Structure 1
Amino acid sequence: MTTAARTVSRSPTIILVFLLLAYILNFLDRQILGILLEPIKNDLKFTDSQLGILTGPAFALVYSLFGIPFALLADRTSRSMVITASLGLWSAFTALCGTATGFWQLFAYRLGVGLGEAGGVAPSYALIAERFPPAQRGKALGIFSLGVPIGLGLGAILGSWIAQNFDWRTAFLAMGILGLILAPIFKWVVRDPPRVAGAAAPSMGTLMATFPLVARKPSFWLLALGASLSSLCGYGLATWVASILIRSFDMSLIGAGRFLGSLLLIGGTAGVFLGGLLADRLGGKDRRWYAWLPAIAWLITAPLYALGLMVENLTLVWLLLVIPNALNILWLGPITTAVQHLVEPSKRATASAAFLLINNLIGLGVGPLLIGLISDALKSTYGVESLRYAAMGVLVFYLVAALLTLIAARYLRNDWVDEPQP
């Protein structure tokens, strides 16, 4: 095999590695605020409600609304350029977060982080789909999805270490600078494949015309709302668990970061692999498993998470929480696969964009803020334990998510669109 041939054969793997690195930084920069809530609260005198706004709506608002326009821009121009610009933008605003001196300043910088991250995921999906043949696409997307637990876990561990040894501002600056260094290297390595001659790029009109097709299917709304309520809990807990460990278990910042980071890395990584593996094996026999699997996982997640937050022995807390930290993310493979098959292949981008819009607005926008609001409301009664009880209270949404997804299973076989036969 010639050198040129070897270079071509390795290029999809190299591109996937760099897409994964960018995705890890995406979630690392998103999670780092969660691990730094306590030092920020103590330094800038914020309430839990204000911290909830910073971790929820301040990010989710622009992240959700700009995802579709950036995806269209990537399809019409250069996907690698859009990802590079997004990486540079969110990294710059992450660094700026370290300079904030008040609530509204930090709020504005978090809007900037959300704006940048809105252009990262959809173009990455498209590049993977173009670079990998159908038989390898599922595995490639599964590897790419590992950016979620790895980024969340590293954000907790690295952020707490830097803040403990320096300060919270240095943690933001360090993570932002890391992304700014990666951006030009990413653009040099990741190239768009040649465009197919005569292929028309999608437009907003095309998207608006095809959305009603998926919107008429009950399974879409039930799956989207179920996943969104799960994300409400997942994002909220990932944001606040470190603060619970510090307040209720008297852990140090770096101890809480290691504790949470290990849960996210071990549990989350296992959950992503397990979800994709079981979905492929069971879903091929009965498509309803794409809905049953997440529902079963959430029914187990809620009581285990509640029990883990109630006990006082930290070893037992970790053992109880690592399982739901795997199960609460298991839905990624089954549900995103099911949503892709509710429409014909040419309309899958629209279905995915609509699903992500709903999921991000509810999950990211509501979850962290809701826990912060409940914590402030309970503070006069429960004092320092108010945050722990607030986190336990939102676990009920896992049960509602399971119910919605079980109902979705009834419609999934009828709503499913088969691949066209060659």
Structure 2
Amino acid sequence: MSDTATAQEGQGTPGYRALVLAMLLLVYTFNFLDRQILGILVAPIKADLGLTDTQLGALGGIAFAFLYSILGVPLALIADRTSRTWVVTVSLTVWSGFTALCGMAGNFWQLFLFRIGVGVGEAGGVAPSYAIISDYFPPHQRARALAIYSLGIPIGLAAGTLLGAWIAASVDWRWAFIVVGVAGVVIAPIFRLVVKEPPRPAASAERVPLGQVFALLAKKPSFWLMSFAAGFSSMCGYGLAFWAPSFFIRSFGLDLATTSYVFGSILLIGGTIGVFAGGWFADRMGQGDRGFYAKLPAFAWLTCVPLFAGGFLSSNITLAWFLFLIPNGLNILWLGPVNTAVQHLVPAHMRATASASFLLINNLIGLGAGSWVMGAMSDAMTASYGNEALRYAAVAALSFYLVAAVLMLLAVKPLRRDWVG
């Protein structure tokens, strides 16, 4: 079968493709479980180690994101040249091991260094997985496949919230890190045994210089616009995901367990529907207009702002739950469409590196700054608003969604021109 025919039809049987996707989803779930577990444990960690909101925001942001973002590019290049499945396996082992070590931290700097280790490990997980999915699934199914993979985000966020709170309440916050970390180490060899490295087109045998991939992407306005749009969206998204549990505790007086049920259900229900809907609509509507892959996220972000604002300003927990549910799906609806679009800005053998380049920008802006900026805003507003400072810091941060929507709308026309394959 020719390379073109293989790309059009996908690789492997439908059943095996589903198994591969399920394993990648499981690994991605642990990726976000290990990130989110810190968010639900903010209160006991703050009390135990005596940390400020700014320090906690740094643990959730720059400690994790800096090397995570930068190392993603060389690790993706290694994956493109060697074995993507091995890179994902080793990455899962490393980040899970450092997650377990977080449970042994005795002060801010120890926890900071262990969070850096989690970021180093997770740097090699996502971009190679995108490329594996794009190799196994034909073009007309890729957005849905990537959306199913992206379900790891709401599932992992919800699992981190629920498991972290349950283990912390049953034992203490340290054991929450240890349990989920050890579980990831156990899953890593199972993943490697089940997921086979997909055959690649003949062109993938070429050792493409990193500069060549960058040079190709740099000429495409859609790449820059989508990357910065996703970055500003992620600033708000990651910030809200990290600080929302603390908001429920401080502003509504909920205990840790109740907070985990309230926020975990929002993440799981809203996030799951939103991620899958994004992939489904993109595959349906994007075939006729490639610009739809950018339009859809822009309109979703614009809709998020008033709904999230209503939730944060509400004084009724039931009303807040419903107001948070819809935008929590809309704010990550972009994952399937935009990740698919990035895959189609370059030839097949450059996909992992292209995805890592996109993630470098997205994560440095969004993951690196989101939780830290919101934490710093909360500290700055405490003198004026006291225990309600976090509520108003979250509302102010919603402006990032407006910036993201404008940038994504500007990407619509260039994306039509830049699309490959």
Task: Identify whether the pair has TM-score above 0.5, normalized to the shorter chain.
Answer: yes
Match of 1:352 among 346, 355, 373: 355
Shift of 1:253: 0.6
Partner of 1:46, secondary structure, is coil
Q: Distance in 1 between matches of 2:293 and 2:231?
A: 16
TM-score (norm 2): 0.92
Task: Give the conservation status (yes or no) of the 8 Å contact 1:72–1:202.
Answer: no
Quote the Cα distance in structure 1 between the aligned partners of 2:245 and 2:196.
39
CA offsets 1:186-208 (integer angstroms, 9 cap, x no match): 222223246777852544xx221
What one-letter code is carried by the residue in structure 1 that aligns with 2:255? S
- The residue that corresponds to 1:151 in the other structure is 156
Q: Where does residue 214 of structure 1 map in the other structure?
A: 217
CA-CA distance at 1:275 after TM superposition: 1.0
Contact 1:57/1:369 (8 A) holds in 2: yes
CA change 1:62–1:152 in 2 (3 A) is same
Tell me how far 1:135 sits from its aligned partner.
4.6
Q: Distance in 2 between matches of 1:176 and 1:269?
A: 24
Q: Distance in 2 between matches of 1:196 and 1:216?
A: 24
Say yes or no: does 1:129 pair with 2:134.
yes
Contact 1:93 1:110 in 2 (8 A): yes
- The answer on 1:169 being equivalent to 2:174 is yes
Q: Does the 8 Å CA contact 1:263/1:322 hold for their aligned counterparts?
A: yes
**1:69 partnered with 2:71:** no
Distance 1:20 1:417 in 2: 26
Residue 288 (str. 1) matches residue 273 (str. 2): no
Q: Does 1:184 align with 2:186?
A: no
Which residues of 2 match residues 288-367 of structure 1 at below 5 A? 288-367=291-370
Amino acid at match of 1:274: A
Question: Letter of the aligned partner of 2:344 in structure 1?
Answer: H
Percent identity, aligned pairs only? Answer: 58
Q: Distance in 2 between matches of 1:138 and 1:378?
A: 41
Instruction: State the one-letter code of the partner of 1:402.
Output: A
Q: Using the alignment, how far apart are the partners of 2:260 and 2:224 within structure 1?
A: 36
Instruction: Find the counterpart in structure 2 of residue 416 from structure 1.
Output: 418
In the superposition, relative to structure 1, how do residues 139 and 338 fare at CA in structure 2: closer, same or farther (>3 Å)? closer
Q: Give the letter for the 1:288 counterpart.
A: G
Q: Which amino acid aligns with 1:93?
A: F
Aligned mates of 1:140, 1:190 — CA distance in 2: 16
Secondary structure, aligned partner of 1:66: helix
- Aligned-partner residue type, residue 264 of structure 2: G
Instruction: Determine if the alignment matches structure 1 residue 267 to structure 2 residue 270.
Output: yes
Alignment equivalent of 2:24, drawn from 19, 28, 52? 19
Deviation at residue 334 of structure 1 after TM alignment? 2.1
* Larger mean Cα displacement after TM superposition, 78-87 or 165-174: 78-87
Instruction: Look up the equivalent residue of 2:384 and give its one-letter code.
Output: T
Which residue does 1:140 correspond to in 2? 145
Cα offsets for 1:237-275 (capped at 9, x unmatched)? 000000000011000111111111111111111111111
Number of residue pairs matched by the alignment: 410
SS state at 2:205 partner: coil
- Contact 1:75–1:201 at 8 Å: present in 2 too? no
2:57 aligns to what?
A: 52
Shift in alpha-carbon separation, 1:418–1:104, aligned structure 2, 3 A: closer
- For residue 157 of structure 1, give the secondary structure of its aligned residue in structure 2: helix
Q: After superposing the two structures, state which structure 1 stretch, 70-79 or 111-120, moved more.
A: 70-79
Hey, what's the Cα distance between the residues in 2 that align with 1:79 and 1:338? 20
1:403 alignment partner in structure 2: 406
Cα 1:68–1:260 change in 2 (3 A) is same
- Aligned partners of 1:363, 1:114: CA distance in 2, in Å? 14
Partner of 2:4: none
| 1: CA distance, partners of 2:411 / 2:225 | 5
| CA distance in 1: counterparts of 2:300 and 2:140, whole angstroms | 27
- RMSD over equivalenced CA pairs, Å: 2.0
CA distance in 2, matches of 1:344, 1:192: 18
Helix, strand or coil for the counterpart of 2:197? coil
Post-superposition shift, 1:347? 4.2
Q: Which amino acid aligns with 1:186?
A: F
Out of 95, 98, 102, the position equivalent to 1:90 is 95
Give unmatched runs, 5+ long, in structure 1: 1-6
Distance in 1, Cα, partners of 2:199 & 2:284: 35
Contact kept? 1:219, 1:408, Cα under 8 Å: yes
> TM-score normalized by structure 1?
0.92
The one-letter code sitting in structure 2 at the alignment partner of 1:406 is: L
Residue 237 of structure 2, aligned match among 227, 230, 234: 234
User: Is the Cα contact below 8 Å between 2:382 and 2:389 reproduced in 1?
Assistant: yes
Between stretches 48-57 and 379-388, larger displacement belongs to: 379-388
Equivalent residue in structure 1 for 2:378, among 349, 372, 375: 375
Shift of the alpha carbon at 1:288? 2.7
Q: Which amino acid aligns with 1:411?
A: P
Deviation at 1:85, TM superposition (A): 1.4
Instruction: State the alpha-carbon separation in 2 of the partners of residues 292 and 183 from structure 1.
Output: 37
Match of 1:389 in 2: 392
Asked if the contact 2:127–2:353 (Cα under 8 Å) also holds between the matched residues in 1, the reply is: no
For 2:163 and 2:152, how far apart are their aligned partners in 1? 15
Aligned to 1:244: 247
- Deviation at 1:417? 3.0
Match of 1:110 in 2: 115
Residues 325 and 253 of structure 1: CA distance in aligned 2, closer, same or farther (over 3 Å): same
